[in-house]
Amino acid sequence: MAAIDVEDVLSKLTNPQKISLLSGIDFWHTQAIPEHGIPSIRVTDGPNGVRGTRFFNGIPAACFPCGTALGATWDPALLREAGAVMGEESKAKGAHVILGPTINIQRSPLGGRGFESLSEDPVLAGVGAAGLVNGIQDTGIVACIKHFVCNDQEHERNAVDVIITNRAMREIYLLAFQIAVRDSKPGSFMTAYNKVNGTHVSENPKILKDILRGEWAWEGMTMSDWYGTYSTSEAINAGLDLEMPGPSRLRGGLLQGALASNKVTEHAITQRAREVLNLVNRCAASGIPENAEEGTRDTPETAALLKKISANSIVLLKNEGNVLPLKKNKSTLIVGPNAKIATYCGGGSASLLPYYAVTPYDGITALLEEGTEVKYTVGCYSHRELPLLGAQLTSEEGKPGMTFRAYNEPSSVTDRQPIDELTILRTSEFFIDYYKPAQALWYGTFSGTYEAEKDGDYEFGLAVYGAGKLYVNDELVVDNETTQTQGQAFFGSGTVEEKGTVKLVKGEKYNVRVEFASAPACKLVSDAVVVAAGGGIRIGGAWVIDAEEEIKNATALAKEVDQVIICAGLNLDWESEGYDRADMDLPGHMPALITALSAANPNTVVVMQSGTPVTLSPFLSNLPALLHAWYGGNETGNAIASVVFGETNPSAKLPLSWPVRLEDNPAYLNYRSERGRTLYGEDVYVGYRYYEAAKRDVAFAFGHGLSYTTFKFGEIKVELVDEELVVSLDVTNAGEVDGAEVVQVYVAQDSPSIRRPVKELKGFEKVFLAAGETKRVEVKVQVKYATSFWDEAREAWISEKGAYKVFASDSSQLVEGRYLEGGFEVAKTSWWNGI
């Protein structure tokens, strides 16, 4: 790909050619105009790894820890390293633009995509995002930051109108993006699905034109989220450059008609095309050829970095009696539904097929000394849909997975010939980008062999976007064709999971077969936005267990060993794009399991995995030790084991507050769409800002995180140097283990003219210290960012004259002996706009 002279090319393009540049040609590519030297560029998901162009049977990739895990590192330098590897992964996939990072604010624990975002706090989210963007763009790849703005729930996400004050928009939701623009200049922005105060963001001139390009002076290309363009003229006039995906639904001929009727001007179309061509030029510098072949780069260096990031994202929430780290030579029970399944990512467009995925069981057993007794039992189930069946089966070729064959004719045609044949390991496939069949209605057969591990009932599950029947040894077990019920699978297009049970005999081999028909065979009438002609299929299965008996069994085993590790939490069934969580509770019998095992063995550790908070109150007070491990990417199991056994000293901090109950959350009464709108009634009091103002207890405070060592803060010094607030202090590692501490700087105004939060995070610095070492830590913040709130009367930021307090702490919760206080004065009131 060669650079072009944008202005010269624009002068030669016809209006139809300019219009053709303003929408994609498929799910991942822009329009090329070869006669003018304009290549097609490729974009790719996403926030926690680079998938490439394929949902169906994708090429494996490096899966990074999820967004909240990245935020939990409180380490922009490490995130810059992560971004650089994402950039190199993007090159391997032949993609010029990464659709990420995601920095929407987690105003509620229920957000289906909460795991994708970095924090409830705009400073932590913005600074972290800047680290990722800088790392990505250091490699020549363009970052597309998203979802701009207030795309904070999945319920009616395309239709919902976010009703919000200008002050909350500025101080919380826009501020994260503003900081990212200030510190990293992302090359592209993706607009949100939702409306803000009556107008969809993708056609909102106040947000796209006045704020983003005007006030912030940002230069780059804007694109819609997929199917998030809702108008022709309005979106063009507001500043939305690229409609995705293609082929176009609202541009093309419609835009030519709008031009002819003067609903849009030629100048507006030219400006939109100019931004697309500027991005094309920027992408040309990456050296990635047009329509490059997709590949992999699974290197030891990538694996080492993924493990480092994952381990440094794990938060030590509780450690009474120094139960952790555990001993490698003690008899150990590993229990829980997340033990032998690698829960490495959340669901939806952030998910991908990893190079590999290490389970906690494999990571833990690899570090136990040879000969150490290890016991295992599942303890309880946590799945919402049955676990994917693929890895439990053997294909006809003798590989793990199922043999997939595609046909143009149904199974009733006896001599039909396959048009495609593959081995499928991950038995959840969305055929949105499967182009092998030449017709909309096609048919598929999935077949594999299962060897029963024990006698008993086995449950199979089948969800489809299309139609399907599941057979075991040619006997029908699940019929998801004759009658279908609308579900949430495949972004809301698919059915519920239908289930069936068969009795299996230990050691016997069984043929599991699914007969599938593509989307046109579906009986549902769905209003889902994301549709795929090929449809989708999800095949799951698991042993049927007696929950209470299994807890008794696990409890008995816990009494026989020195230490217990419970691998608990959620998975991509519960946290996914397309739907929000119904509650904050752990599924099924998990609280009962944790309660029983904590009582049975005093050396019980829970390793919790979720992207957002879960209810801990049923067992927290009696639980000795708790680690939160998020969704940790490829190296999930190795990272968990590294922290559990002390090879890594935990240094992560919570990037969001952890409420005791869902009802305590400030957005509790204002979450979900009601008659097409969501009121952001908590205003600026999101997360810790609310809990502190309302004096509401939390399970764990924002910024909380323990270590295997102890740290002490020396005397604080607060200075105003030119336009900067400089906070400096000595930090000492007073323990016997090397470790890292995060110095968090919060600012409070003494006598504001309006009600403000008790204090707000304004800066932070992570410092690594050897045992006994002392370092001087300095946190610098622009005074205007440290002091200002949004003055709605003046439509500007205001920094008021007066006194301000500064707190340097190890969390948002000010605990005696773990924070320092200082102050400074602002001499005169001033207003400002921009960045």
Positions marked active-site: 225
Strand partners, 260: none
Contact between residue 653 and residue 315 where contact means Cβ atoms under 8 Å apart: yes
Length of the chain: 835
The sheet with strand 830-832 has its strands ordered as: 789-791, 796-799, 830-832
Contact between residue 734 and residue 710 where contact means Cβ atoms under 8 Å apart: yes
- The DSSP annotation for 430-460 comes to EGGG---SSSSS-EEEEEEEEE-SSSEEEEE
CA dihedral (401, 403, 408, 410) positive or negative: negative
- The DSSP annotation for 509-544 comes to EEEEEEEEE-GGG-------S---TT-EEEEEEEE-
Beta strand 604-609 with 625-628: parallel, antiparallel or unpaired? parallel
3-state secondary structure of 707: coil
| Distance of alpha carbon 366 from alpha carbon 355, whole angstroms | 19
Tokens of 611: 């992207």
Dihedral of the CA atoms 489, 631, 182, 137 (nearest 10)? -90
Tokens of 109: 């624990």
| Distance of alpha carbon 280 from alpha carbon 506, whole angstroms | 59
HEC per residue, 119-183: CCCHHHHHHHHHHHHHHHHHCCCEEEEEEECCCCCCCCCCCCEEECCHHHHHHHHHHHHHHHHHH
Q: Which residue matches tokens 């019980």?
A: 604
Q: How far is CA 149 from CA 98, 191, 196, 788, in A?
A: 18, 7, 8, 21
Which residues, 6+ apart, have CB-to-CB distance to 103 below 8 Å?
Answer: 117, 118, 125, 126, 128, 129, 145, 146, 176, 177, 180
CA dihedral (275, 277, 280, 282) positive or negative: negative
